[in-house]
Amino acid sequence: MPDIQTEKIALSTRDGICPCHVYHPTGNGPWPAVLVYMDGIGIRPAMLEVGERLAGYGYFAMLPDLFYRTGPYAPKNARTVFVDPEQRKEHLEKFMPQLSAANIMSDTQAFLDYLDGRADVQRGGIATTGYCRGGNLSLTAAGTYPERIVACASYHGSRLANDQPDSPHLLAPRIKARVYIGGASEDATFPDDMKQRLEQALTAAGVEHTIETYPAHHGWVLSDTLAYNAEAAERHWQTLTALLAETLKRA
C-alpha cells in the first residue's frame, strides 16, 4: 500500500464548524474520493482506521464528525455506550438526534463542495460508505445527490426501509449509483422484512445493486465493538474495494 497523508480540517456548514479527518496517498493525485459516514458511536480510532485503510488502497477518504452540533466531546467507548444505562440515555438523547437525515444531507452539500475544491481529488462522481446509522445516511445521500454519487455502500446499516417519510428506500427512484448493502443476520435494526422492502424498491427503480446478509451481529465491521467479527470485516473490505474499483477507478 502507498504511504498516506492525514489532515484534520474545520469545515463550515449551515449549522457550524464540522471537524473532518482527511486521508489520501502521498503525492499530487488526483485520487478518487470516498465520503465515509461514521457509525452511531462516533469518531474514534476504530472509525478512523476506515479512512486510513481507504487511503492505503489509493483513495481520498473524508470522515466528518457528524456529532459536531453537540460541541466538543470525549470519544465514546464502543463497548459500553449502549450497555451502561447512563451512557446509553445520554447518547440517545444528546447525540443520536444530531444524525437526522435533514441535518446530514445539508452537511453533505458542504462536504461535496469541499471535495470539489481539492485539486488532488478526481473530478466526476464520488463514492459513499457508511456504518450503522451511517449506512442509512450513505444510502440517503445517494438518493439526495444522484448526480454526484456513483457508488454507495452500507454496512450493518440501520432502518434502511422503514415507515418514516425520510426512509432511504423511498429515494430509490432517484438513485443513479451502484449500490452495495451488507446486512447482518442478527440485526434488529434491519430485519428480513426491511431487506425485502429495500430489495423491491431498488429493483423496481432499476438500481444496480447487491444486498447480502453476513453471518454476524449488527456492528461487526468496527474493531472496537462487542459485535466485531474479523472474518466478516475482511469480507466487508473485499466487497467495498471491489465496488470502488468497478465504479470510481473505472470512471
Average pLDDT of every residue of the chain = 95
Cell numbers for 231: 472474518
**pLDDT score, position 28:** 87
The reported pTM is 0.96
Whether residue 54 contacts residue 25, with contact meaning beta carbons closer than 8 Å, is answered with no
Strand, helix or coil for residue 42: coil
**pLDDT score, position 1:** 64
Residue type, 72: P
Low-confidence ranges of the chain (pLDDT < 70): 1, 249-251
**Rounded to whole angstroms, how far apart are CA atoms 83 and 76?**
12
**Rounded to whole angstroms, how far apart are CA atoms 151 and 232?**
21
**pLDDT score, position 193:** 95
**β-strand 178-186 against 149-155: which pairing, if any?**
parallel
**pLDDT score, position 29:** 86
Residue pLDDT, tens place only, 154-182 = 999 999 999 999 999 999 999 999 999 99
HEC profile of 149-198: EEEEEEECCCCCCCCCCCCHHHHHHHCCCEEEEEEEEECCCCCHHHHHHH
Distant-in-sequence, close-in-space partners of 64: CB < 8 Å, separation ≥ 6: 11, 18, 19, 20, 35, 37, 38, 107, 111
**Rounded to whole angstroms, how far apart are CA atoms 145 and 174?**
9
Q: Ramachandran region of residue 94, left (φ > 0), alpha (ψ -120 to 50) or beta?
A: alpha
